[in-house]
């Protein structure tokens, strides 16, 4: 299911177009993105090991100091579902020392960036 068009419409309707740059999870940061820091990075990407690793490696270095990393489909208990977002994004983010958990709601985890990459 491609939810990007709905997300873009929601951002537009909320008057946030000048504050956001929605991007498909299939794309990696461009050189232009590297010049900017992200205040919020929301990862709802692939659930395989390699896509999750690529999302972590490609995107998290761009999160600004005091910015947020939000990860969807985090299943800490293997009995509940797939593990890659938990094992390949959430755990490495916390273990890096750059991100601290701030919120857990359902399958969504939010972390705050405490130091620049």
pLDDT of residue 60: 94
**Over its length of 117 residues, how does the chain's per-residue pLDDT go in tens digits?**
667 788 788 888 888 777 777 766 555 665 555 557 888 898 987 788 999 999 999 999 999 999 999 999 998 888 888 789 999 999 999 999 999 999 999 889 999 999 877
Give the start-to-end residue ranges of the domains of the chain. 37-117
- Does residue 62 contact residue 37 with C-beta atoms inside 8 Å? yes
30-59 confidence digits (pLDDT tens): 555 555 788 889 898 778 899 999 999 999
3-state SS, residue 3: coil
Instruction: Give the N- to C-terminal CA distance of the chain in Å, as an integer.
Output: 32
Q: Kindly state the tokens that stand for 97.
A: 């020392």
Our answer to whether residue 62 is catalytic in this structure is no
Tell me which of 12, 47, 62, 72 is the catalytic residue: 47
Place of tokens 């709802």: 44
- β partners of residue 41: 69
- Whole-angstrom Cα distance, residue 20 to residue 8? 9
């Amino acid at each position: 299911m491609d939810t990007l068009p709905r997300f873009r419409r929601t951002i537009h309707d909320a008057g946030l177009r000048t504050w956001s740059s929605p991007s498909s999870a299939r794309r990696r940061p461009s050189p232009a993105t590297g010049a900017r820091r992200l205040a919020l990075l929301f990862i709802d990407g692939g659930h395989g090991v390699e896509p999750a690793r690529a999302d972590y490696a490609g995107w998290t270095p761009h999160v600004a100091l005091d910015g947020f990393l939000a990860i969807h489909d985090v299943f800490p208990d293997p009995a509940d579902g797939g593990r890659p977002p938990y094992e390949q994004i959430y755990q490495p983010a916390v273990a890096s020392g750059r991100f601290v958990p701030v919120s857990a709601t359902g399958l969504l985890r939010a972390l705050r960036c405490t130091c620049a990459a």
